[in-house]
Amino acid sequence: MKEETHFAVLKDLAHALGLKITKRVPGEHLLVVSEEFLGLDNVVLDVESPLLIMEKLLATKFEESDLRQILRMNGDMGCGAFALTDAGIVFRETFLMDTLTEEELRFAFASLSISAAELAIRLGAR
């Protein structure tokens, strides 16, 4: 039941931030959202109580030599981090649902936008 409550809070926060919900997965506490002003789409918000996991696939094509540079970028990020998954390079951030605020989530979206742009520049600068 806690997951349902957390999911309701997430939907309220998404609405308050003006996020466009592009997909809701039936039977799961997961939203896929976009934020046009920041140029973000397909951001996954997954409630896994007590956590919210925010994830965005950023790159599927990169060189092994890029990974060292990408790892260094993690130290400059305001929040979140780049991670390597089977799908590619993702931005990932986790939040504790019981204390999550609108400002914290807004900051994470801004950090994602900036980090995605910097990553695109670095990967494209080869």
pLDDT in tens, 62-94: 988 888 888 889 988 889 999 999 999 999 999
Q: Is the pTM of this model over 0.75?
A: yes
* Axis-axis angle for helices 66-73, 102-124 (nearest 10): 150
Q: Is the pLDDT of residue 1 over 70?
A: no
Taken in order of first residue, the domains within the chain and their CATH numbers are: 2-124 (3.30.1460.10)
CA dist 120 and 59 (Å) reads 8
pLDDT in tens, 6-55: 999 999 999 999 999 999 987 899 999 999 888 999 999 999 999 999 99
Positions of E strands within the chain? 20-24, 30-35, 40-48, 51-59, 81-84, 89-96
Confidence at residue 125, expressed as pLDDT on a 0 to 100 scale = 58
